[in-house]
Chain A
Amino acid sequence: MSALQLDTWGWIVLACACAYITKLAGYSVPARWLQGPRMTQVAASMTVALLAALVVMNTFASGQALALDARLAALLAAALALWLRAPFLLVVVLGAAASALARWWGASGIMLPL
């Protein structure tokens, strides 16, 4: 069985086409399937699930491992700011500031062996 021989550009074009087709696939689902109170609840729950996953991934993921580092400071600062009803932009800025400060103070982080 011969492998597909492509140069770097070939793989890039193929990967990009794959990415776009994947995005389109979601939109190709018939609209009727996505309607109704049940699907509305599913969509709402999926949103919470995806946002929570993105928060955890962006805070703790380091390649295929987990790490505790300066991003945790950002999570805590953002949570505090949100609890104190700070506006969205301020929350983002505070998150950036918290992790930059934590890193500057020498928080290089620890990997979590699992």
Chain B
Amino acid sequence: MSSLPSSATPAAPRLTPAVRMGLSISFATGLYGISFGALAVAAGLTVGQAMALSLLMFTGGSQFAFIGVLAGGGSGAAALGAAALLGVRNAVYGMQMKALLGLGGWRGWLGAQLTIDESTATAAAQQQPDEQQRGFWVAGVGVFVLWNLFTLVGALLGDALGDPRRYGLDGAAVAAFLGLLWPRLRQREPVALAVLCGALVALAIPLLAPGLPIVLAAALGAAWGWWRAGAVLRQRRAAGGAA
């Protein structure tokens, strides 16, 4: 194993910053599986069905949306629609991760399954390619293992463990995502973009269908980046002409 280049090793045994971030976010997110398992069973699914969702769908927003619609009396088609809409952002993540990690072969198939908020966020928050790989795989595999384990716990024990919010798990998720965003806010321009996107999302949540606000934010970010790159190119050309 040690003869492989570090960028090809999914999870290096050393506790690098990316590995630590991946593990922290895995625990914060994985424990939330209890909530999903319990809610799924409360919505009328069997333990097997709850596990199938966590193993095969493996994307928290879509999973909660799916059982949420069923619990509210909606049809299977409506549940599918809601889950699909909330999954669209994973396609955006896939593009980002393809550009960042360049996964091929069996790693590509597995990597796609593990492409979720947390794995993408951890990878994207790193600066070096080997740390990006580590962040993605540690967070991806970590969340997968813990999310599924705790879905089972939640499905079997139901409400016995109480509300995860009592233990502040929702606060842990907030802190984790802020922690991943923070290093990127070193300059004024990303701060402005972050504030703008945050405001847009806050406005969009009550107005748009679930899952759409974040896709809108991604589109705004892409447009901003595109415009900014164009501005930099024009500046360089102008400077080149004047020199």
Contacts and interface: CB of A to CB of B under 8 A. Distances in A.
**What does DSSP make chain A's interface, helix, strand, loop or mixed?**
helix
Interface in A80-114: 81-82, 87-89, 91-101, 103-104, 114
Contacts of B174: 55, 58-59, 71, 74-75, 78, 95, 99
Contacts of B161: none
Contacts of A1: none
Contact of B103 (A15, A25, A27, A99): A27
Interface in A1-60: 3-4, 6, 8-16, 18-20, 22-29, 31, 34-35, 37-60
A46 B222 contact: yes
B156 interface: no
Contacts of A66: 202, 205-206
Interface centre among B111, B170, B194, by most A CB within 10 Å? B170
Interface in B190-219: 190, 193-195, 197-198, 201-203, 205-206, 210, 213-214, 217-218
A70 B206 CA distance: 20
Contacts of A40: 229
Interface size class of B (residues with CB under 8 A): 35 or more
Interface in B151-183: 165-182
Contact of B205 (A60, A87, A98, A100): A60
B118 to A, nearest CB: 9
B147 interface: no
Nearest to B31: A96
Contact of B77 (A3, A64, A100): A3
Given A15-B62, A54-B121, A26 B194 contact: no
Contacts of B25: 92
Interface string B121-148: 1001100000000000000000000000
Nearest to A73: B171
Contacts of B242: none
B59 A39 contact: no
B126 to A, nearest CB: 11
Contacts of A99: 165, 168, 170-172, 174
A102 to B, nearest CB: 8
A20 B201 contact: no
26 contacts: A19-B58, A20-B113, A22-B87, A23-B94, A25-B94, A27-B94, A41-B228, A42-B222, A45-B222, A48-B190, A50-B93, A53-B198, A53-B217, A55-B181, A61-B205, A70-B168, A70-B170, A71-B170, A71-B171, A92-B179, A95-B176, A96-B168, A96-B169, A100-B166, A100-B171, A103-B168
Nearest 5 CB-CB pairings of A with B: A26-B94, A95-B175, A49-B221, A99-B171, A74-B171
Given A12-B49, A22-B87, 6 more contacts: A11-B76, A42-B225, A49-B193, A55-B178, A71-B170, A75-B175
